[in-house]
Amino acid sequence: MSTDTMDDDTLHLPKGVRVETLDVRGQRLRVAIKDGDTSKPPLLMFNGIGANLELGFPFLTALKGRRAILFDVPGVGGSPMPGLPYRPSTLARLSKHLLEMLEIDRVDVSGVSWGGGLAQQFAKQYPKICRRLVLVSTSSGWTMVPGKPSVLSKMSSIKRYTDKGYMRSIAAEIYGGAFRRDDTLINAHAAGMRPSSNAGYMLQLLAMTGWTSVPWLWLLKQPTLVVSGTDDPLIPVANARLLAHLIPKARLELIDDGHLFIVTDPSGTAKLVGDFLDDDSV
């Protein structure tokens, strides 16, 4: 194990958040760790495809009092490329090794969009570690009800993360919701983007090829919160309904927004998630 503190002079880190590079069994990971109440399990967060950890900072800031862990997937943001391609099961195992390094044996797990698939995989693979599950703007994998082809083609291009002007020009079309009503909302999100490599982005796309959770969702025992925007061009709300139907202890919440309501309303989303994680009646 080796640990290096990142040179984050260009970052404006939220209070209580530190960013480090950790060597996790030979794979270097850039990790954000948020301090909080040690009596509660921390929240392990999985980002969307191509998204560096800074894009999760608004939600982290709004998530009051709770510890959280978020890392750049290999090949994304500040984490270097892996030696070999990976699958969701590989990343779930890497996440488990990271938690072991941090001496954490119990977590709540959340995933946004692409990261929602990884969150489902982690919950299945490590049921004794994952206490509760939060699935945001996500689906069951290749069995999903797809968005419009024109929207999916723009989403699959790394250009939206390497060209901030392009991101601004397509935000309303691919993310929907509040971005349709206010085209300035994307500016803060774009400012936090840290370009990924083409190879890293491609690895993320390939990792989910042929993956689906449908055959085993009924086996998940964790209380689960499924949240979807009603105006999501990328992942239509039918996918959230399917997840909530197939996961035995799932609750569905619909938000009057688009794909990235966690970005457009981080405070509201954090309250919804925090209330669910703290609800002893679940």
DSSP label at 141?
B
Annotated catalytic residue within 79, 113, 139, 228: 113
**One-letter amino acid of 206:** L
**One-letter amino acid of 140:** S
Residue in the block written with tokens 């009503």: 181
Q: What are phi and psi of 208, to 5 degrees?
A: -95, 0
Element (H, E) at 45: strand 43-46
**One-letter amino acid of 103:** E
Check: CB of residue 75 under 8 Å from CB of residue 203. yes
Q: Tokens in use for 150?
A: 């024109």
Element (H, E) at 112: strand 107-112
Tell me the Cα Rg of the chain.
17
Pick from 238, 265, 242, 240: nearest CA to 253: 240
- 156 included as an active-site residue: no
Burial of 196 per CB tally in 10 Å (0-12, 13-18, 19+)? buried
Strand 43-46 relative to strand 107-112, pairing: parallel
- Which residues are designated catalytic? 113
